[in-house]
Amino acid sequence: MKQPIYLDNNATTPLDPRVLEAMLPYFTEKFGNAASRNHAFGWVAEEGVDYAREQVAKLIGCTEKEIIFTSGATEADNLGIKGVFEMYKEKGNHIITAVTEHKAVLDTCKHLEKNGARVTYLGVKEDGLIDLAELEAAMTEETILVSIMYGNNEIGVIQPVKEIAAIAHKFGALFMTDATQAVGKIPVNVIADGIDLMAFTAHKMYGPKGVGALYVRRKNPRVKVTSQMDGGGHERGMRSGTLNVPGIVGLGKACELCRLEMESETIRLSALRDKLESTLSKMEESYVNGNTQHRLPHVANISFKYVEGEGLMMAMSDLAVSSGSACTSASLEPSYVLKSLGLSDDLAHSSIRYGLGRFTTEEEIDQAIAVTQKAVNHLRELSPLWEMFKEGIDLSKIEWAEH
Amino acid sequence: MAYSEKVIDHYNNPRNVGTLNKDSKFVGTGLVGAPECGDVMRLQIEVGADNVITDAKFKTFGCGSAIASSSLATEWLKGKTIDEALTIDNMDIVEELALPPVKIHCSVLAEDAIKSAINDYRVKNGLDAIVLEKSHH
């Protein structure tokens, strides 16, 4: 079977062969436990981990001691938010986040609400960015944490992180960011950005699945989190559990490659993304979702009105993309991120996310354009809504039988 | 989720796509679903002598299973009498297309579309609309 063209790099990225090569020895001859202090096997493993820690730190502008390795960004989000809530609950119980966050943040906050936290979920403007004045107005004496994502996974918009951090700090709160989609793609510097805690993962930047990290600031201020996993006291007591040495080595190598290639990759990917987006948005009744100025270089989210996203993906079986349509879910609810931009449900159902990556070629983008155009046109021929639109019927005036 | 071969076949080669004259008294039109829910089906029948359905056309906004369900429905309708058409049950469609549980609503919508088209035809021709049992969705 011919492999489809992979344009779902926001879901996960393929492992870079150079990362795999760095990892392989740690599965075989360098198999030691990094916590074994008394023999060479342990030392070699620890050396690998230490080197990876440096590689990670260098990418985000922190020191090695500020990196806590986890199983991925979801765990890092849990550790950061729950850990701060438990550590600072004497100071206050208020957390501020946004409705467009990943479920790893939203559901963690919901969990804390059951344990006495008060959570404010900020809405977003129609370009997907939060309103800074609204954030400032929501801050209280009780606010201990502001957690706002760096780049959005569905539409790619980049929040004004520096400004958000400044507001949080003005009120004495910590600022955490889920930077899963941003780290390795755009320059992220925890000092310049004023970040106190940051979650990210290897498999969105050409590293392996199952490994990520939480950055926890050690100076100005020194941030502490209560561990969520008890055991041998690994990672300075914040995350017990034998270190995933090959994974960590892979994360380190992935970070190094991203740091070295980021500048040229950003130029290449944004040119390809712009080509895809400008061609497809020229089609009749197609709309680009989210702010187009402040966003990641490799994501395009486009709604093709009068065509349903899942049906469209089926017509584009040569492409691996994703849709804001949730036709497969029992709830029939389309993407909550797109809906929070104020998009009507039908446009949310009609959306396709293209996520480009390191291995995407211009030829693939040309094919993706052609496949999309053909599929959209084909499905519009089948669409009663398209026919009605063409006849000048106002669809909003029809009484639809909700089902 | 993988689609069944029959869904893929109907999706790639949809039968009876098109539009009949909705103002004709021989034509019944059913428009069901809602854009907000991600599915809208329009199913039309043309009825000839002896209440036999001589033609059926559809257009559907929706996922592959919704398109396949309506395509299959038009295939089944042609040549049936109205009374026979009323016996088409959504579970027949589920079975024929091997729809998974999350896609059962597509078949329900197709059944609704058939009944709604028949009622439109009946009302146009001075007959009472058939009271439909509220379908289970």
DSSP letter, residue A228 = S
CA-based nearest residue to A180, from A260, A82, A266, A296: A296
Please state, for a pLDDT cut of 90, what percent of chain B lies above it.
80
* Cα-Cα end-to-end distance for chain B: 22
Q: What is the CATH number of domain A17-258?
A: 3.40.640.10
The token pair at A303 is 């709604």
Report in angstroms the alpha-carbon separations of B63 from A256, A311, A314, A354, B49: 42, 4, 8, 19, 35
C-beta atoms of A400 and B11 within 8 A: no
B134, with CB counted inside 10 A (0-12, 13-18, 19+), is exposed
Contact status, residue A263 vs residue A320, Cβ threshold 8 Å:
no
A300-315 pLDDT, tens per residue? 999 999 999 888 988 9
**What are the chain A neighbours of B1 within 8 Å (beta carbons)?**
328
C-beta atoms of A400 and B34 within 8 A: yes
B5-124 classified as CATH 3.40.640.10: no
Vertex A346, ends A398 and B137: CA angle to 5°? 75
Prediction pTM value: 0.91
State yes or no: pLDDT of B70 exceeds 70.
yes
Give the pLDDT score at A397.
83
Vertex B85, ends B79 and B91: CA angle to 5°? 120
- Residue B43 neighbours by CB under 8 Å, 6+ apart: B29, B30, B32, B56, B57, B58, B70, B73, B74, B110, B113, B114, B116, B117
Query: How many Å lie between the alpha carbon of A108 and the closest alpha carbon of chain B?
Result: 27
**What are the chain A neighbours of B33 within 8 Å (beta carbons)?**
400-401, 403
Contact status, residue B40 vs residue B32, Cβ threshold 8 Å:
yes
* Residue A335 touches chain B, beta carbons under 8 Å: no
Give the pLDDT score at A2.
78
CA-based nearest residue to A70, from A176, A201, A230: A201
Q: Would you list the domain boundaries of chain A?
A: 5-9+262-397, 17-258
Q: Would you list the domain boundaries of chain B?
A: 5-124
Tokens 């740091």 sit at which residue? A259
Annotation: CATH topology of A5-9+262-397: Aspartate Aminotransferase, domain 1 (3.90.1150)
Best mutation target, B5, B29, B40, B42, to test chain A (most A CBs within 10 A)? B40
A to B CB pairs, distance under 8 Å: 99
B22 by DSSP, 3-state: which?
A: coil
Vertex A339, ends A204 and A322: CA angle to 5°? 40
B72-119 pLDDT, tens per residue? 999 999 999 999 999 999 999 999 999 998 899 999 999 999 999 999
Give the pLDDT score at A402.
59
* Spans of chain A, pLDDT less than 70: 1, 326-332, 402-403
* Helices assigned H by DSSP within A139-235: 161-170, 190-193
Report in angstroms the alpha-carbon separations of A251 from A6, A72, A264, A345, B76: 22, 10, 21, 38, 56
Give the pLDDT score at A329.
47
Burial code (b: 16+ CB inside 10 Å, e: under 16) for A315-341 equals bbbebbbbbbbbbeeeebbbbbbbbbb
Report in angstroms the alpha-carbon separations of A274 from A158, A268, A301, A355, A360: 17, 10, 12, 12, 14
Give the pLDDT score at B2.
75
A198 by DSSP, 3-state: which?
A: strand
C-beta atoms of A308 and B61 within 8 A: yes
C-beta atoms of A403 and B105 within 8 A: yes
Confidence grade of residue B37 (pLDDT, cut at 50, 70, 90): confident
Q: Residue A353 forms beta bridges with which residues?
A: A301, A322
Vertex A227, ends A220 and A93: CA angle to 5°? 65
Residue B37 appears among annotated catalytic residues: yes
Confidence grade of residue B136 (pLDDT, cut at 50, 70, 90): very low
**Once rounded to an integer, what is the mean pLDDT over residues B49-71?**
94
**What are the chain B neighbours of A332 within 8 Å (beta carbons)?**
37-38, 105
Give the pLDDT score at A400.
80
* Strands, sheet with A94-98, edge to edge from the N-terminal-most edge strand: A67-70, A212-216, A197-201, A174-178, A143-147, A94-98, A118-122
CA-based nearest residue to A297, from A10, A3, A1: A10
The token pair at B108 is 């329900």
The token pair at A177 is 């960011």
A322 by DSSP, 3-state: which?
A: strand
Give the pLDDT score at A328.
44
Tokens 């849990």 sit at which residue? A78
